Structures are given as C-alpha cells and as structure tokens.
C-alpha cells in the first residue's frame, strides 16, 4: 500500500471515480477512486503478480475492470479456491485483459506510407471514461505501440518529429496540451498516464516539444507554455534548499560541493514497481543477499530511478563485479549524476530564459541564463572525462566518473554545451567505438540489458546525428543516418514492421534483452524514420 506521504501525490485523482462501471452509487463514488493497482485491487493484485498469472506483469495492471471494483474485491475476498487456475479464471471473468495480438495489418505499402497509416492506428481519443489505472487525458494522443498502450513522456518528442514531417500539427498541439495538463494537475509529467507511474517522470523533453510546436506556430508558443515549463523545472529542482554537506542529496537534486548543484534520477516510492512487481522483488532479494548492508527499499528506489531515466536498464546504472560483469541487482542509479539529464535541464533553463525574454521579463530571463551557464560549467567539470575524451556520468558518492561509456555522452553536443575541441573528441569515439553496421550502439557493454549493446534505439540515433551536425561533423552524421535508415528498411522489407529497437551490430539477428520482448509499432522509430528519410 502507498504510505500516507504519497497520498498528496494522488490527491487530484481522488475526485475521479471509475466511470467505466455503469451503476455506481453516490456513496460508492466517494469511495472508489483511481488509485495505483495495489490499492485499487488489494489482495487480488498481490496474488496475481506473485503467482505469475500473466507472463508480463504489466498485463494485469493495465486490465480494465468490467464492473464496480469494490464488488470485484469483495467477490475475490470470498473466493475459497486461490489456486493459479482459479485466480486466472476469476481475472478473465472480471477484467478485460490487454490483448497480445498484432493489431497492425501488413501490406506492401512503402515504409513512409505505412508510418502515415500507423499514426491512425496508434492514435487514442481523449479519455472520456476511466479504465482501471489509466489517467484520463483531455486530448487525443499517440501511444508507442505493443504493450505500451498509454502515452509515454520522452517517447512523444521523437514521435512528434515524424508527426511534424507529415504535417500533423494538430496532433502535436493536442499532445503538448496533454503534457501541460499533466504538469498543471500533478506538478510534473509522469512516466506515462498510468497511476502506477505517479512516483516518477522521464527525461524532461517538454521544452523540446514546445520548440517543435513553436516551429510550426510561432514564438508565441513559448509564452503559452512558460508557466508549465517553470513548474516542470521546479519539480526537478524541488528540495534544493534542504541540501548541505551533511545531506548532499534530496530527491532529484544533488550538491556536489557548496554552490554546485546538479540533478539525478529518482522515484518517490521505495517499493516494487506494480508493472514489474514480481521481477523487482526477485532483484531486491538477489541484491540484499549479495550486499547485506543494502535494504530492499534502496534497491526498489534505484530500480524505479532507472525507470525514470528511460534507460531501463543499462550498465550505466550497474556496478561491475571483479570480473567486469554487470548484473541488475548491482543497480545504484541514485548515486549517479547523469550527463543526459543535466544536458536536458540545461536546455530547459535556456528555453525558460527565452520565454521570459519574449514576455519582457528581462530579470527572470537573466536569472535563467545564469542558471544555464552554471550548469554548463558543472557539466564540463564533472561529466567530461579527459582520459577517455568523452562526456560520462558522474558518481557523486565516489567522486569520480562511472566506468561506462554511453551515448548519453552525445547530449552535450545535441544541446551545444560542448566546446568544439571536446565535440571533436566525442565524434572520434563515436566513429571508432559506437558506429556499427546498423547505426550507433547505446553502450559498449554486452550485459543482456536492452539499453546496452548490441541494441540501437531511434532516439539515440537522432540525438547523435543532430549533435554531430551541430559541430559540422556531417560525414559521420550522415553515415549514422544512412545505416539506421538501412536497418529500418531491411527489417521492414522482411516483416512489414517498425520495431522498438534494433540489433545494430549484426543485421541478421533480432534485438533483445530487458524485461519484455521487442515491441513493434513503434512511435519513436516511426517519428525518427519519417524525419530522417524526409531530408532533402
């Protein structure tokens, strides 16, 4: 159960009841709210997840109740037979379970036409009814696809690149408005519009979405969303006044030295993720067995923080053992200052400064430009590794960079934080180490985690290509572009599918790793492909 301190986070949900239930009395309306699944379903949730009723733990938490949840809970309480078969039958009788069937009809369309058709397939209408854990949104939106049946924060920026290419400005505005709604309702943008995501966000790309919309509708867009950008910034910086030498970290802010503030990933709830409940318990048990000084709550927090990073999971967040191997139970995300997160916040500070300048508030504009410049200096001080000549994450507990070289190191090029000389050194390492036959690989580690080698992901191709172009590295950027488009096209020719990720090292093999099979659909792959293939 969520503890009392979490109730404030859910307060705005408490006025919403399960309108998907056709007959709910006034008294029941007062009692039935949208809640995280462990509160919503109680004992049933724990039994379903721990007894592995579904291979994918996300299936049940996304299920839609067929009737009043109070009634379902009471019927389950009275159920004598709590065997796996009985629970499975009970759930199927009382819930609509998300299907695993492929909803995309293959045809011989060109890849660009296929993606244009997919916008309609992946679009969801504004939510008029409440369905289990889904947080309703006021406007239509695009979901990634596959098991991801809700909007996702950072995915949506890369999806918008393709929507912009295809002239879908109305859809972009609807999605930006949805994110503004989430900020105004909850004070931040959750990982996705599910109640079980209310403890964490994702990489803060909202300012980049505002920029996309401004490119289509003009600079007044920056003024329209200034308040929301400020609120998001306040979320990431919350608790900075509590920092001291004795208490150097609080939620998402970290004081490395006096006056030196950077950010980390976090989650407010030190509990197993409902959508990966069984898996998180197993990981925590492994961790405390290997490291008795740890608590399970610390492990849950690091797993959730890794999910907020959206690199769930990667050797970036793991500690190598004596042999150099990485295992998920060694996760220590909250000890790390990530280079990508702080580059994104550098951009957010700059975008807020621009919006204040447009509004005529030159004082606040200067304040945020100063914040941005301070962060730039700290990124260079703590995230530039002169020995490896690359931007790297920083472990503030150990006062040194982590050992894992990753494509997060190209974010300072994407946001033009890097000095030209450093950008050149980053480009050389991408050319020598990251560039593969299908694009660029996420890290150089082969761990079995999905955000490590051999996988390549659409967002990181885009970040790399644009970052390199910012510094005149056109030849390398175009090489990445052409190889990425090539692997997308080769897989599409065989399968008529756009995948979530690709094996960029061996084009004859599928991608893999992680907590679930490779998904098809797929929002950000579609978006990046449309944008890159549309270049003249």
Give the CA distances from residue 270 to residues 199, 220, 265, 431, in Å, rounded to whole numbers and listed in that order: 9, 41, 13, 40
Q: Residue 248 is encoded by which pair of tokens?
A: 């150097």
Helix segments in 124-203, DSSP class H:
153-165, 169-186
Q: What is the DSSP letter of 280?
A: H
- The confidence score (pLDDT) of residue 178 equals 98
Helix (H, G, I), strand (E, B) or coil at 465: helix
391/379 Cα distance (integer angstroms): 8
State the Cα angle at 276 between 272 and 280, rounded to 5°.
45
State which H helix or E strand residue 456 sits in: strand 455-456
Neighbours of 376 (CB within 10 A): 21
Length of the chain: 536
- Cβ neighbourhood burial of 106 (10 Å; 0-12, 13-18, 19+): exposed
136 phi/psi in degrees, rounded to 5: -70, 145
Give the chain's end-to-end CA distance (angstroms, integer).
54
State which H helix or E strand residue 435 sits in: strand 435-436
Nearest Cα to Cα of residue 460 among 476, 446, 442, 472: 442
Domain positions in the chain are 4-96, 274-335, 415-536
- The confidence score (pLDDT) of residue 19 equals 33
- The confidence score (pLDDT) of residue 320 equals 87
Q: Are the C-beta atoms of 526 and 113 separated by less than 8 Å?
A: no
- HSE-up of 313 (CA within 13 Å, CB side)? 27
Q: Are the C-beta atoms of 176 and 210 separated by less than 8 Å?
A: yes
235/455 Cα distance (integer angstroms): 32
State the Cα angle at 190 between 373 and 261, rounded to 5°.
25
Q: Residue 387 is encoded by which pair of tokens?
A: 């020995």
- Cβ neighbourhood burial of 75 (10 Å; 0-12, 13-18, 19+): middle
- The confidence score (pLDDT) of residue 146 equals 82
Helix (H, G, I), strand (E, B) or coil at 74: helix
At which residue do the structure tokens 């991608």 appear? 511
Q: Are the C-beta atoms of 347 and 415 separated by less than 8 Å?
A: yes
pLDDT tens string, the chain, 536 residues long: the values are 333 333 333 333 333 333 333 233 333 333 335 689 999 999 999 999 999 999 999 999 999 999 999 999 999 999 999 999 999 999 999 999 987 444 556 677 899 999 999 999 999 999 876 679 999 999 999 999 888 889 999 999 999 999 999 999 999 999 999 999 999 999 999 999 999 999 999 999 999 999 999 999 999 999 999 999 999 999 999 999 999 999 999 999 999 999 999 999 999 999 999 999 999 999 999 999 999 999 999 999 999 999 999 999 999 999 987 778 899 999 999 999 999 999 999 999 999 999 999 999 999 999 999 999 999 999 999 999 999 999 999 999 999 999 999 999 999 999 999 999 999 999 999 999 999 999 999 999 999 999 999 999 999 999 999 999 999 999 999 999 999 999 999 999 998 899 999 999 998 887 656 655 666 688 999 999 999 999 97
Would you say the C-alpha torsion 59, 62, 65, 70 has a positive or negative sign?
A: positive
361/348 Cα distance (integer angstroms): 17
According to DSSP, the residues that pair with 443 across neighbouring strands are 406
Does the annotation mark 500 as catalytic?
yes
- Cβ neighbourhood burial of 405 (10 Å; 0-12, 13-18, 19+): buried
Annotated catalytic residue, options 62, 275, 312, 520 = 312
CA-based R_g, the chain, Å: 23
- The confidence score (pLDDT) of residue 338 equals 99
């Amino acid at each position: 159960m969520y503890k009392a301190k979490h109730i404030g986070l859910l307060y705005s949900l408490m006025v919403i009841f399960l309108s998907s239930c056709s007959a709910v009395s006034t008294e029941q309306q007062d009692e039935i709210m949208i809640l995280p699944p462990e509160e919503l379903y109680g004992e049933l949730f724990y039994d379903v997840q721990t007894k592995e009723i579904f291979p994918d733990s996300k299936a049940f938490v996304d299920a839609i109740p067929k009737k009043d949840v109070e009634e379902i809970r009471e019927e389950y309480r009275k159920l004598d037979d709590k065997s796996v078969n009985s629970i499975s039958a009970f759930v199927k009788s009382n819930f609509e379970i998300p299907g695993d069937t492929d909803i995309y009809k293959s045809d011989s369309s060109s890849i660009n036409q296929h993606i244009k058709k997919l916008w309609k397939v992946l679009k969801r209408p504004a939510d008029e009814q409440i369905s289990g854990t889904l947080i309703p949104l006021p406007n239509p939106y695009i979901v990634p696809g596959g098991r991801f049946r809700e909007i996702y924060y950072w995915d949506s920026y890369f999806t918008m690149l393709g929507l912009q290419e295809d002239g879908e400005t109305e859809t972009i505005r609807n999605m930006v408005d949805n994110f503004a709604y989430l900020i105004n309702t909850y004070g931040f943008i959750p990982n996705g519009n599910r109640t079980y995501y209310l403890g964490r966000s994702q990489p803060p790309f909202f300012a980049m979405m505002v920029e996309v919309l401004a490119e289509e509708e003009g600079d007044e867009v920056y003024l329209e969303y200034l308040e929301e950008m400020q609120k998001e910034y306040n979320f990431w910086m919350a608790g900075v006044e509590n920092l001291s030498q004795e208490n150097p970290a609080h939620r998402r802010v970290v004081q490395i030295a006096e006056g030196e503030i950077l950010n980390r990933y976090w989650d407010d709830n030190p509990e197993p993720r409902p959508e990966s409940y069984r898996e998180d318990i197993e990981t925590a048990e492994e961790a405390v067995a290997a490291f008795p000084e740890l608590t399970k709550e610390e492990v849950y927090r690091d797993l959730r923080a890794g999910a907020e990073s959206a690199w769930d999971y990667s050797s970036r967040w793991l500690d190598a053992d004596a042999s150099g191997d990485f295992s998920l139970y060694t996760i220590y995300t909250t000890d790390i200052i990530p280079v990508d997160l702080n580059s994104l916040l550098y951009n957010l500070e700059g975008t807020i400064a621009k919006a204040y300048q447009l509004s005529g508030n030159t004082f606040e504009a200067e304040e945020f430009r100063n914040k941005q410049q301070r962060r730039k200096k700290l990124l260079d001080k703590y995230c530039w590794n002169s020995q490896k000549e690359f931007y790297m994450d920083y472990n503030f507990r150990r006062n040194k960079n982590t050992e894992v070289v990753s494509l997060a190191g190209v974010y300072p090029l994407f946001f033009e934080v890097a000095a030209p000389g450093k950008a050149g050194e980053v480009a050389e390492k991408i050319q020598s180490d990251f560039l593969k036959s299908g694009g660029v690989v996420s890290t150089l580690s082969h761990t079995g985690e999905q955000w490590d080698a051999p996988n390549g992901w659409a967002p990181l191709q885009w970040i790399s290509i644009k970052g390199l172009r910012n510094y005149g590295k056109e030849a390398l950027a175009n090489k990445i572009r052409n190889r990425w488009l090539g692997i997308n096209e080769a897989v599409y020719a065989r399968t008529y599918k756009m995948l979530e990720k690709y094996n960029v090292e061996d084009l004859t093999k599928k991608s893999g790793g992680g907590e679930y099979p490779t998904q098809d659909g797929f929002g950000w792959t579609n978006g990046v492909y449309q944008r890159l293939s549309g270049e003249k």
